[in-house]
Amino acid sequence: MEEIIRFGVSIEKNVLNKFDEMIKKENYPTRSKAIGDLIRESLIKREWLKGGEVTGAITLVYNHHRRELVDKLTDIQHDYHNIVISTLHIHLDYDNCLEIIAVKGNAKDIVKLSNLLKSTKGIKHSSMIVTTTGKEV
Ligand code: NI
């Protein structure tokens, strides 16, 4: 079994109050579990940014009436076809589309793809969800 270490943390009172409120809403049983999750998440993110094989999802929200934008997004995804596993397209309303792009591959390539998509003119919002392939965690 993994050895458990106790350690003290100094932090502003109002930050800790907000943190306690947040973890209560998220049903964390203890502060230790919540802090442990935050640390693990941070380690996974750094692991991601170092490179190696990882998985994740890129989300895009945009107006599909901008045809040149749709073409550009398709071109970019074809340029990175080796890391795009699947794309889910949802017609949110008359104008707006949500695209969820599942990716797997080298972390640096995924970050590059995400940045290219995000910076495309006309994208209303883009986010990247990073996770592990599960082999190292
Ligand atoms: Ni659509």
CATH number of the domain where residue 71 is located: 3.30.70.1150
Would the pLDDT of 89 be above 80?
A: yes
What type of residue sits at position 16? L
* Same domain, residue pair 62 and 122: yes
Q: How far is the CA of 103 from the centre of ligand 1 (A)?
A: 20
Q: How far is the CA of 82 from the centre of ligand 1 (A)?
A: 24
Instruction: Give the domain extent around 19.
Output: 13-49
Any domain includes 116: yes
Q: What's the mean per-residue pLDDT of the chain?
A: 91
Any domain includes 98: yes
* Same domain, residue pair 116 and 83: yes
* Three-class SS state of 26: coil
What type of residue sits at position 94? Y
Radius of gyration of the CA atoms of the chain, in A = 19
Average pLDDT over residues 97-107: 95
Any domain includes 1: no
Q: Which DSSP helix (H) or strand (E) runs through 18?
A: helix 13-25
Q: How far is the CA of 13 from the centre of ligand 1 (A)?
A: 46
Any domain includes 23: yes
Q: How far is the CA of 41 from the centre of ligand 1 (A)?
A: 32
Average pLDDT over residues 76-81: 97
* Three-class SS state of 5: coil
* Same domain, residue pair 40 and 96: no
**DSSP letters spanning 69-88:** HHHHHHHHHHHTTTTEEEEE
Average pLDDT over residues 13-37: 94
How many domains does one find in the chain? 2
Any domain includes 6: no
Q: How far is the CA of 101 from the centre of ligand 1 (A)?
A: 14
* Same domain, residue pair 59 and 22: no
* Same domain, residue pair 45 and 58: no
Would the pLDDT of 88 be above 80?
A: yes
CA distance 137 to 134: 5
Q: Among 137, 134, 136, 123, which Cα is nearest to 58's?
A: 123
Any domain includes 114: yes
Q: How far is the CA of 111 from the centre of ligand 1 (A)?
A: 24
